[in-house]
A and B are shown apart, each in its own frame.
Chain A
Amino acid sequence: MEHPPVKDFTTDFDHVDDAWVADPYAIMADLREQCPIAHSDRYGGMWVPVLHKDVAAIANDTEHFTSRTVVINEGRPGDDAPPAPIGVAPPISSDPPFHEIARRLLLPAFAPRPIAALEDFSRVLCNDLIDAMGDNDVVNASLDYAQHIPVGLIAKMVGLPPEDGDLFRSFVHEIIEAVDLPVEERLARFEPIQEYIVGLIEEHREKPADDLITYLLDAEIAGNKLADEHVFGTILLLIVAGIDTTWSAIGSSIWHLANNPDDLARLIAHPELLPSAIEEFLRAYAPVTMARLVKDDFEFEGCPMKRDDWILLSFPAANRDPEMFDRADEVLIDREANRHAAFGLGIHRCLGSNLARLEMTIALEEWLRRFPKFELVDADSVTFSQGQVRGPRSLPIRILERS
């Protein structure tokens, strides 16, 4: 599908455009003044709210907006979206009332206490990655470090062979980043993912393990085992949603500190600031943008929305709204009041938020302990992902001090 360069983001918005990938924040600021809900005929019709209040209103309005598909792509919404209530990847793709049933099955495994029990495993994982970098002065904080941390954690929780990391990272790319491909090609690329997950389910049926796949196979709703497509879809969700999101969050944090030596020195001198710094990195560099579909023709804030129009639900834009946050475009690592929406708002709050915070905390603690001083090799060599998850995909860093 052709994606000509965007000349006017207010009327022809495209989140895969080079200008948006390079610096979405400046464009968000322009849109906030000019629109504040952008529109596009691309992808079959799309609306892009950039005010916190509008993002919050849509996230909380499950009557007019459905989560049936949450990744905007070239297909019409129905093409790759099984109908409600289950949807392609429950519960992220589910609406009420089924959503809550599917979500409650998963919440206990992602609650604070079971996630806290993964701390030691995470710390070993991070140190092994740093050890593997050897004595190199230049390392790639995205490719050698950040990307492997969520892969290790998700593989352990879900029950995937850790050596398949490269494989499921490629699945994530096909689903989340390659959104500008024609729909036939997208569906063709989905086939190996489907085969892989079906294979995992068969293995776990034969040989149950202490992991989430076995848990889903044993789980019941009102006395019935889960439908096959429910088990499949939830495994797909757990693999896809937990990886490049947290990879991005860890990468953006290291990128910020490499770019801002004062913040780095302050965090080294005052490690007690790390929790508020992490929340501020989540606010300022929120990796995840979600999507909704308009259920039926409906006017929202004066915009004539049509059935099956996409909504690009930008939590990153909500997090930069100056009506909501003082000095919204500045990163203040000791910010006290921070109602950021990095993990979403409303009933679809990120299921893995406790896991993501654990991974960020341990990843940054260990990185800062081992590398108390570092800098960007070259700002131009840093590349960012395109699509609905934003973060550095290549991040060459020069280590200036190690311990």
Chain B
Amino acid sequence: MKIHFEASKCQGHGRCYSLAPDLFDSDDLGTAVVLVTGELDADQLKRANLAASNCPEYAIEIGD
């Protein structure tokens, strides 16, 4: 499973990089940047799902 991030939907709410700072970071404008683009381990997957389920803009999906 991987992180699929649709940058054009991100409005910088910052939920992902607060909840999963090892997977997401902020750029200088507050927009999210994905740090882990490859396959997620079980622990990462849990936090990735948490980040996705807190994004108000539905910019993050976790899938193959």
- Residues 92-111 of A, flagged 1 when their CB comes within 8 A of B and 0 if not, give 00000000000010011011
* Cα-based distance from A357 to B18 in the complex (angstroms): 11
* Cα-based distance from A112 to B58 in the complex (angstroms): 21
Q: Is B26's CB within 8 Å of the partner chain A?
A: yes
Q: Is A127's CB within 8 Å of the partner chain B?
A: no
Q: Which chain B residues numbered 1 to 57 have a C-beta less than 8 Å away from chain A?
A: 11-15, 17-18, 26-30, 50, 53-57
* Cα-based distance from A108 to B30 in the complex (angstroms): 7
With a CB–CB cut-off of 8 A, which chain B residues contact A354? 14, 30
**What's the nearest-Cβ distance from chain B to residue A343, in Å?**
6
A339 touching B53 by the CB < 8 A rule? yes
With both beta carbons as reference points, the residue of chain B lying nearest to A115 in the complex is identified as: B30
- Classify chain A: how many residues form its interface, as a range: 20 to 34
Please pick, from B14, B28, B55, B57, the residue contacting A353 in the complex, using a CB distance under 8 A: B14
With a CB–CB cut-off of 8 A, which chain B residues contact A336? 50, 53
With both beta carbons as reference points, the residue of chain A lying nearest to B30 in the complex is identified as: A111
With a CB–CB cut-off of 8 A, which chain A residues contact B54? 279, 337-339
Pick out which of these stretches binds chain B: A117-125, A140-148, A344-352, A367-375.
Answer: A344-352
A275 touching B18 by the CB < 8 A rule? yes
Known A-B contacts A108-B28, A110-B30, A111-B28; the reply to A349 vs B13 at CB < 8 A is yes
Q: Which chain A residues numbered 307 to 355 have a C-beta less than 8 Å away from chain B?
A: 336-341, 343, 345-347, 349, 353-354
- Classify chain B: how many residues form its interface, as a range: 10 to 19
With both beta carbons as reference points, the residue of chain B lying nearest to A349 in the complex is identified as: B11
B13 touching A353 by the CB < 8 A rule? yes
A111 touching B26 by the CB < 8 A rule? yes
A112 touching B11 by the CB < 8 A rule? no
With a CB–CB cut-off of 8 A, which chain A residues contact B11? 345-347, 349
**What's the nearest-Cβ distance from chain A to residue B8, in Å?**
11
B18 touching A111 by the CB < 8 A rule? no
Which of B27, B28, B50, B56 has the most chain A CB atoms inside 10 A of its CB? B56
Interface residues of B (CB under 8 A from A): 11-15, 17-18, 26-30, 50, 53-58
- Given contacts A108-B29, A111-B26, A339-B55, list 16 more A-B pairs with CB under 8 A: A107-B12, A107-B28, A107-B29, A107-B30, A111-B30, A112-B26, A112-B30, A113-B26, A337-B50, A338-B53, A339-B53, A339-B58, A340-B56, A343-B13, A343-B56, A345-B57
A-B contact pairs, 7 of them (CB 8 A): A107-B12, A108-B28, A111-B26, A112-B14, A112-B26, A339-B54, A353-B14
